[in-house]
Amino acid sequence: MSALHRDLDDYLAIRRALGYKLQRTGLLLADFVAHMEANGADAITTDAALAWASLPPNGAPDWWAQRLSVVRGFARHLHAIDPTHEVPPVRLLPGRSHRATPYLYSDVDIAALMAAARSLRSPLRAATLETLVGLLAVTGLRIGEALRLDRDDVDLVEGVLTIRFTKFGKSREVPLHASTVDALAAYTRRRDELHPRPVMPAFFLSTAGTRLLYCNAHLAWLDLVHRAGLEPRSAKCRPRPHDLRHRFAVRTLLGWYRDGADVQARMPLLSTYLGHVHPGNTYWYLSAAPELLNLVAARLDATVGEPA
């Protein structure tokens, strides 16, 4: 094993201990180290990083910029230990992130998706997908978090979900409204009636009695969207499962602004509920809906217009 390979193992171990999963980053850096080794290089240089990041030659500039950004993090770590490693400049390969425009579902849209789920031929599949859609809409969970729920994670007595080892390696508890508890209890009874001997302890079951896979859940979502008649609003605004999370955040913020609440003081609460590491990640939702921006502007005008 080369020195660079050992350095990479140390770097990934440190970052993962801090909660970062780095699945794609680990694969990319392993490929970068192999590229360096194949060229007989034992120290990162800007030229070497640029040569690797610009592969394939017909790749998209945004992809090249992402690849160089991954190397830059590794190089910055090594440079602190050994200054012979160069850190590529930030704007060497400028790229632009293209964030999808949130598809903000209306109440009618949610009802249509749940009705589409009820129309499915398999009773268990119908119950599972209807409940999954409803839970995502009222809690703002990431779909992966919902699919990873085990039965022991759903406390219907206390009305709390335990979300374990989320996107940033943290766990949290999510309190539930009484109506949500009732819906989950109804699904539990129906699920156990239709499949009394599951293969896994997953809360949401497939027809085989196993945990729903994300890829299958995503295909099922596309089918529900088609059945519900939901259409893209633009090339960058398509109905995705993750947009239910946006909907939850935006509706929460709208409610706070309309009630005259101190939104800035409450943002850390929303961040914790959503499982964000920093409140700054939650503030992005302020730009997700024109109605929300109008309320923010009105609040700002009222504050600026107050006498000193």
Say which DSSP state 93 is in.
S
Tell the residue number behind the tokens 């000193």, with chain if given: 308
Q: How far is 198 from 203, CA to CA, in rounded Å?
A: 10
Residue 76 annotated in active site: no
> In 3-state terms, what secondary structure has residue 164?
coil
Choice among 227, 242, 266, 283 that is catalytic: 242
Choice among 72, 85, 245, 247 that is catalytic: 245
Choice among 85, 142, 191, 247 that is catalytic: 142
Handedness of CA 22, 23, 24, 28 (dihedral sign): positive
CB 156 within 8 A of CB 184: yes
Question: How many Cβ atoms from other residues are within 10 Å of residue 127's Cβ?
Answer: 23
Question: Is beta strand 172-175 parallel, antiparallel or unpaired with respect to 160-163?
Answer: antiparallel
CB 181 within 8 A of CB 159: yes
Choice among 85, 211, 251, 276 that is catalytic: 276
Q: Which long-range contacts (CB under 8 A, 24 or more apart) does 108-117 make?
A: 109/228, 109/230, 109/239, 110/134, 110/137, 110/244, 112/228, 112/229, 112/230, 113/224, 113/225, 113/228, 113/230, 115/228, 116/223, 116/224, 116/227, 116/228, 117/224
Residue 177 annotated in active site: no
Residue 24 annotated in active site: no
15 Cβ contact list (under 8 Å, min separation 6): 22
Residue 218 annotated in active site: no
Choice among 103, 105, 187, 285 that is catalytic: 285
Residue 245 annotated in active site: yes
H or E element at residue 173: strand 172-175
Residue 276 annotated in active site: yes
Q: How far is 195 from 127, CA to CA, in rounded Å?
A: 12
Q: Is 228 exposed, middle or buried (0-12, 13-18, 19+ CB in 10 A)?
A: buried
Choice among 79, 164, 167, 195 that is catalytic: 167
Catalytic residue list:
142, 167, 242, 245, 276, 285
